[in-house]
Amino acid sequence: MATNVDDEEYDRVKEVKKFDESKIGVKGLVDSGITTIPRFFVHPPDVLSQLKPGSKIRPDLVIPTIDLSGVDSHHNRSLIVDQIRQACSSFGFFQIINHGVPLGVLDRMIESIKGFHEEPTEIKARFYTRGVGLGSIGVSYVSNVDLYNSKAASWKDTLRIKLGSKMADHDQIPEICRNEVIEWDREIKRLGEVLSGLMCEGLGVETWRLKEMTCLEDTTMLGHYYPKCPQPDLTVGLAYHTDPDVFTVLLQDNVGGLQVKYGEYWVDVKPVPGALIINVGDLLQIISNEVYKSGEHRVLANSSHEPRVSIAVFFNAGNKDDLYGPLPELISSEKPALYRQFTMTDFRTRFSKREVDGFLSNYYKL
């Protein structure tokens, strides 16, 4: 255990509130010199048993790495589309290289997000906001957005910034990463359109289909910071989950810790220099009528002295009132619709309140 306090004397709500109101985040706890983690970060035994070294790990498996070189040539594109279809249908994850985003942009993003998280608390605290939404300015810094609702907290802090057509006011983005985020937004818009087109072609539908459904309009960036954990065997960096979006683009540094579920096993996603990681989200699994699979994944608590930094961009549907469900082109008598239709407002509301596994099957499966 991480504390000697008896169950009768331990007030979890009080401890969580104290941590939240301090606005120091996990980074502040590490800086204070703690050698044991607060009790509300300790995960239950059934979760921890799955994190033991070698527990259901397949070191022989790797997620596919796809080279986007020549994506606009007919021959190369057909090969790339086939590779993406296979990856999305099996792992729900793949890495891309030669994607057109300059290496300098990737490096600057990692360094700027790292720089923000390593600024003094009084600077970061100005952006600290508790809640699911990003508020009117589209920027927030928080440790565990679900801190009060989750069974146990994760060992990470996060800077959230609205991108895309509803991007946060540039003046509200932290100065230390402002230029880098603006540059990143431009690159991600371009790459998102390329990826959505390739995924559509992999489904056998028109290249512009996802774009037409506003699936590239609502984008949010999460800049995660995972400092060294003094007891990495008692907690996680990010608990296992699937993303609720259409698809996610992830930039990770060289520290590692991301794992993807494949059948009953976990696969390490080892950093590839210059690569970006792409994963299918719940919404794309529904839209594709389960041709593509939403990839379950987790992040181990960081045991390295070097902090881990990752930047995820979530692509989501922008029209909250339109109906979404399996594409009509993918429905037939042989393959009937597996999900009902719904609005994004309903989808997001239900997702924000989910407390158990089976989110899709409980609410949207026919």
Q: Position of tokens 């002295």?
A: 305
**Quick one: what percent of the chain has pLDDT higher than 70?**
94
* Domain span holding position 270: 14-363
Could you tell me if residue 5 is inside a domain? no
Tens of pLDDT, residue by residue over 127-143, are: 998 865 665 679 999 99
Is 58 part of a structural domain of the chain? yes
- Residue 287 is which amino acid? I
Residue 18 has pLDDT above 70, yes or no: yes
* C-alpha–C-alpha distance, residues 289 and 335, integer Å: 8
Average pLDDT over residues 347-366: 74
Q: What is the pLDDT of residues 299-308, one digit of tens each?
A: 999 999 999 9
What's the pLDDT at 7? 66
Give the integer Cα–Cα distance in Å for 218 and 167. 9
- The encoded tokens of residue 6 equal 């008896």
- Residue 2 is assigned to a structural domain of this protein: no
Write the pLDDT tens digit of every residue in 89-125. 999 999 999 999 999 999 999 999 999 999 999 999 9
Is 116 within a domain?
A: yes
Residue 308 lies in a domain: yes
Q: Can you give the pLDDT at residue 354?
A: 62
Full-model pTM: 0.94
Determine the pLDDT at residue 357. Answer: 57
In a domain, 7, yes or no: no
- φ/ψ (deg, to 5) at 93: -140, 150
Distance CA 19, CA 34 (A): 14
Residue 3 lies inside a defined structural domain of this protein: no
Residue 359 lies in a domain: yes
Beta bridge partners of 66: 96
User: What six digits make up the tokens of 311?
Assistant: 């930047």
Please tell me the total count of domains within the chain: 1
Residue 3 has pLDDT above 60, yes or no: no
Mean pLDDT of 9-28: 94
E-strand ranges in the chain read 65-67, 93-97, 139-142, 157-164, 218-226, 236-241, 247-252, 258-262, 265-268, 276-280, 297-300, 308-316, 323-324, 342-343
Name the DSSP class of 365: B
pLDDT digits (tens, 9 = 90+) for 67-88: 999 999 999 999 999 999 999 9
> Which CATH number belongs to the domain containing residue 180 in this structure?
2.60.120.330
